[in-house]
Copies of this chain bind each other. A is one copy, B any other.
């Protein structure tokens, strides 16, 4: 007799959680242990003694703490449930960032119903799991390589933004001009301009609008 797989679900839309539970409950090998509506609830739940789950279904967009921050917290604390990201985003950068943070699976909400049970069983078994569309965009980048099924960590390709660049980017999305940003951060205008230039280069966008769109899509704001 197989041991049950215990699952924790985190998403800020309760109705989506209800849907997931409805789907998962059709399988006898899997049991929902509990759910969280914010990132903070997730980390609190796992911090609490006695609370354990084999697999964590994790949304990215959540109040208080988002999915990224939840994983960073786990990495710091040495907690490592097998995490499956369940997100609307199919941006390659987000996927890679999540992989580098240690997630074991990534499925999009578009076809979650078909994949979620398989995904849970796969990652519970030590494998990785990606939904079709995610596999596609991953293969586009790593053409020639195959998706590792073991513990081989996929290294992030994107150049991470520095703290200062993030500071500037956030203020740009708040519609501040460079002189205003310089003022707010106590920097010379030339410094802000430098950060702007580096942001444009790193994110491969044409102008401030591109920066703003990137920030929105990647939930930096």
Contacts and interface: CB of A to CB of B under 8 A. Distances in A.
A172 B209 contact: yes
B16 A15 contact: yes
A211 B208 CA distance: 11
A182 interface: no
A19 interface: yes
Contact of A20 (B15, B177, B211): B15
Contact of A207 (B20, B88, B205, B208): B208
Interface stretch (A76-84, A90-98, A107-115, A141-149): A107-115
A207 B113 contact: no
B175 A209 contact: yes
Interface string A187-221: 00000000000000000011111111100100000
Q: How large is the interface on A (under 10, 10 to 19, 20 to 34, 35 or more residues)?
A: 20 to 34
Contacts of A14: 110-113
Contacts of A205: 175
A157 interface: no
A206 B172 CA distance: 11
B207 A175 contact: yes
Contact of A209 (B110, B112, B212): B212
A13 B112 CA distance: 8
A166 interface: no
A173 interface: yes
A110 B16 CA distance: 9
Interface of A: 12-20, 22-23, 88, 109-113, 116, 172-173, 175, 177, 205-213, 216
18 contacts: A13-B109, A13-B110, A13-B112, A16-B16, A16-B19, A16-B109, A18-B19, A18-B113, A19-B22, A173-B209, A173-B213, A175-B205, A175-B207, A175-B209, A177-B206, A212-B213, A213-B216, A216-B216
